[in-house]
Every structure is written in structure tokens, then in C-alpha cells.
Amino acid sequence: MSKIIVVTSGKGGVGKTTTSASIATGLAQRGFKTCVIDFDVGLRNLDLIMGCERRVVYDLVNLVNQEASLQQTLIKDKRVDNLYILPASQTRDKDALTIEGVARVIHKLKQNEFDYIICDSPAGIEKGAKMALYFADEAIITTNPEVSSVRDSDRILGILQSESRRAKMDEEPVKEHLLITRYNPNRVQEGQMLSVDDIVDLLAIPLLGIIPESQAVLEASNAGKPVILDDESNAGQAYNDAIARLLGEERPHRFMEAQKKGFLKRLFG
Amino acid sequence: MGLLSLFRSKSSSASLAKERLQLVIAHERTNRGSPSYLPMMKQDIVSVIRKYVEIDEDEVQVSMESDENCELLELNITLPQFGAGGTEDNGDIKG
């Protein structure tokens, strides 16, 4: 039985695509047959983050319109077995997606025995975002420790609870996970940034992980390599922990402590 | 806390952010379940009441609550105190 996970946030630029790429890669590394779908029709970017931008031939809209087969459209990752990328169209807009069309694509993926389908949502709360979350069984709410991101996350939670397929069919609700990205413990300690506890308090959903602000994230996207593959980096390790928790393992949260400052730094701030 | 930071402003902007978010999120959550026609209906109710009494839009509160098997529409209208406005007292006849 395939599990559908949407990575969403409401606000743009918080790390949805980075997260989708790393979560999909992490699940595939653990042997699950995984497909990651870019729902940002018109603003395709997952292909760049995954490093397969030169291999895109057909896209999600071609598949929805039955202009190409699933086998033609899926891009098989070259680094990790079991990992497939379904790119968004760059020339069309979000109106090209329909519930029926997306349902057909999901059905085909299920027939092909995918264990996980990761839906990378576009920003906003319009059609593209609603399409991405409609079929979700679980949701990863990507949030930055910053006022507008937290508010938008709460808004998208409201939409999940009222407009997802599970909500409309009166089924068990979509399982919600909070993933805090670009976390900077030093700034939290100095009272300049909302803390993990503040955000958990405000949004009141279970915490899946904390991804520290890290140079490795930018370097990974520069190279077109999901940051989870950089297992030396804090961010890569934090995504690995998040995967473990997603699969039900208990792991203590890391990267929450401020780094100790040297003597001179302590003196002069 | 560094020595120099003692001289900087000490109030934490993160706690201010949290307070502001608590308020706005609580407010938005109460409006969340309400149907989309509610603001328009509120407008209409206000204009009907205004035919008879001059009121502010803020003085009408509309909320929708749902129990297990019924939906409750709550309408809270604060009317100005009788005679307090003074427009009726000065003898003007309004068309």
C-alpha cells in the first residue's frame, strides 16, 4: 500500500523542495520504492535540486493529459536505487492540473507498487497547493522560525483539515508533522529567533525534526545533490533523524543547542 | 551574554513575536470553520439594521459553531444606548 506524503508550508522559500528531495532520497536509501512529484507547475525546481534537470523529457502535465506514459515520464535517480522523480511542467500553469488527472497519476504509481509518494507543494494556498495536498495521508509542514512562516503554516493546517480528500471523505485525518528548517540556536539563545518550543506551542502538532541553518544546504543545491547525501553535515544528519522518526523510530532531537563561544567572543558578543 | 550586549537593548524580540503570533493565530482559528458566505451575510445584516439604527460594523459579531448534530449561528449586535446619539433629539428630519 503506497503512502502519500505532502511537503507543504503556505509560505515560499522555507525549504519545501529541499525537504522533499531529502525525505524522498532518505526513504529510498532505506529500500522503499519512492517517487517525488513536483507540483509547482510553471516553476519547476525539484529537478535542479535533485540534479536531473538535463534528463527531463516529459512532465506531470503530459502524464495528466495522457500524452506520455508513466515509464516515459519518471526519471530514475542515478545515485540511489528505488528513487524516481516526476518533474513539473515548465511551460504550463497550475490550471493544467485537475483532481481527476492527479488521481489517475497517483493510481498508476500505486499500481507500480511505490511505497512512498512525496508531493512537493508549490507555495501559496491556491490550486497547485491544494492539488498537492488533496490525496495526502501524511503532511510535513515545513516552517521557519519566523512570524510569517508560522502563521502561514497554521493556515495550511486549516486547509489540510478541511479540504484534503481525507477531510472530505470523513476518513481518519491527515497525519501532521512539523519540520522546522533554517534553525539557528545561537540566535534563539540571544532571544532574536522563535525557539522550537515556541513553534511547537503555537502550531500544536508533533515535531518531526529540526534542520539547522547550514551552509551545506546551499552547497547541496548548487551541486544538485539532496543534502541528506552529505552525511557529514548537520543538515544531512538532521534529515536522516527525521526519516527515522517518520518511520516510527525514537530519536532525540539534535542541533538545538547554541554553540559555545570562545572567550573573546563571549566578552565582546 | 557578552559584556557588550549588556549595553544593548535587552528586550527579546522572539517573545514579542510569540505573543503576536498567539493572538493572530487564535483569531484566525476561530474564523476557520466558518462558511465563506459569513462575511457577506454579516454585511447584509448590518445594512438591514442600519435602515433603522445607526451602528458600526464592529458592533455586529457573527459566529458559527457546530455541535454534534446542529449548527448554531450566533449573532451579537450592540445597539447604541437609546437617546445617547443625540441625532433624534435635535429635531432634524432625515430623508
- Residues in B closer than 8 angstroms to A151, CB to CB, are 21, 24-25, 28
C-alpha distance from B62 to closest chain A C-alpha (Å): 20
Name which of A22-31, A60-69, B19-28, B79-88 the model is least confident about.
B79-88
- Within a domain: residue B89? no
**Between chains, do A268 and B17 touch, taking CB under 8 Å as contact?**
no
pLDDT of A205: 97
Q: Is A3 exposed, middle or buried (0-12, 13-18, 19+ CB in 10 A)?
A: middle
- Residues in A closer than 8 angstroms to B9, CB to CB, are none
Residue owning grid cell 512539523: A178
pLDDT of A159: 96
Instruction: Identify which of A155, A193, A202 has the shortest CB distance to residue B22.
Output: A202
pLDDT, tens digit (0-9, with 9 covering 90-100), for A245-269? 999 999 999 998 887 766 666 666 5
pLDDT of A253: 95
Cite the beta strand spans of chain B per DSSP E.
Answer: 60-66, 71-77
- Residues in A closer than 8 angstroms to B17, CB to CB, are 146-147, 194, 198
Instruction: Identify which of A194, A266, A267 has the shortest CB distance to residue B14.
Output: A194
Instruction: Identify which of A146, A194, A269 has the shortest CB distance to residue B4.
Output: A269
Instruction: Identify which of B4, B13, B21 has the shortest CB distance to residue A202.
Output: B21
For chain A, 269 residues long, give each residue's pLDDT as a single digit of tens.
899 999 999 999 999 999 999 999 999 999 999 999 999 999 999 999 999 999 999 999 999 999 999 999 999 999 999 999 999 999 888 888 999 999 999 999 999 999 999 999 999 999 999 999 999 999 999 999 999 999 999 999 999 999 999 999 999 999 999 999 999 999 999 999 999 999 999 999 999 999 999 999 999 999 999 999 999 999 999 999 999 999 999 999 999 888 776 666 666 65
**Between chains, do B13 and A269 touch, taking CB under 8 Å as contact?**
no
Measured distance CA(A103)–CA(A123) in Å, rounded: 21
Cell numbers of A222, please?
548548487
Which among A146, A149, A150 is the top mutation candidate for probing chain B, defined by the most B β-carbons within 10 Å of its own β-carbon? Answer: A150
% residues pLDDT > 90 (chain B): 14
- Within a domain: residue B77? yes
Specify whether the CB–CB gap between A41 and A94 falls below 8 A: yes
Instruction: Identify which of A155, A195, A266 has the shortest CB distance to residue B2.
Output: A266
Is B9 in CB contact (< 8 Å) with chain A? no
Nearest-CA residue of chain B relative to A156?
B32
Q: Label residue B91 by pLDDT band (50, 70, 90).
A: very low
C-alpha distance from A65 to closest chain B C-alpha (Å): 32
- Within a domain: residue B95? no
Q: Which domain holds residue B71?
A: 19-28+36-81
Q: How many Å from the N-terminal Cα to the C-terminal Cα in chain B? A: 69
- Within a domain: residue B93? no
- Residues in A closer than 8 angstroms to B20, CB to CB, are 147
Please indicate whether residue A265 or residue B1 has the higher confidence score (pLDDT). Answer: A265
CATH number at residue B51: 3.30.1070.10
Q: What are the two backbone dihedrals, phi and then psi, of residue B11, each rounded to the nearest 5 degrees?
A: -65, 135
Which among A151, A184, A188 is the top mutation candidate for probing chain B, defined by the most B β-carbons within 10 Å of its own β-carbon? Answer: A151
- Within a domain: residue B54? yes
Q: What is the count of structural domains for chain B?
A: 1
3-state helix, strand, coil in chain B (%, to 5): 40, 15, 45
- Within a domain: residue B8? no
- Within a domain: residue B92? no
- Whether pLDDT at B25 is above 60: yes
Amino acid at B79: L
- Within a domain: residue B87? no
